[in-house]
Amino acid sequence: MMELYLIRSSKTEEWENGVRKVSFACDDPDIHAFAWVDLRERLSGIQIIFRERVFEWDKSSGVSQGDTNREAIMETYGYQKGARSIHNQVHSIGQSDLALLKTLLFPGEWDFLIKSCFNVLEKGN
């Protein structure tokens, strides 16, 4: 299991268009996640970056996965720089990617909330 922890900062208290962003990090610097919650603390979106794979859930469009542009940048220039953009995005997640998501452990009730959106809960949860 790769454990993620909640990042507490003043940025998590900022609201934009009725949602705020909650950030998660891991001891592995290539794994992090974001969750957007509305005024009633309901999830409206999730983005998990697992190395350069991106898994997303949106309450209106469901799940998707894609790759970032950083892997291509590294191959070309030998380093990673700048913001990520998502490429090759498809609206499904394969079994091997679902298995990766199962290896993540979010703090407290976040684990159930996030994993239920991606339908990767272990039986009995």
Q: pLDDT by residue (tens digit) across 92-114?
A: 888 988 999 999 999 999 999 99
The CB density around residue 121, as the number of other CB atoms within 10 Å, is 14
Instruction: Encode pLDDT of 49-67 as tens digits.
Output: 998 888 999 999 899 988 8
Q: Global pTM?
A: 0.82
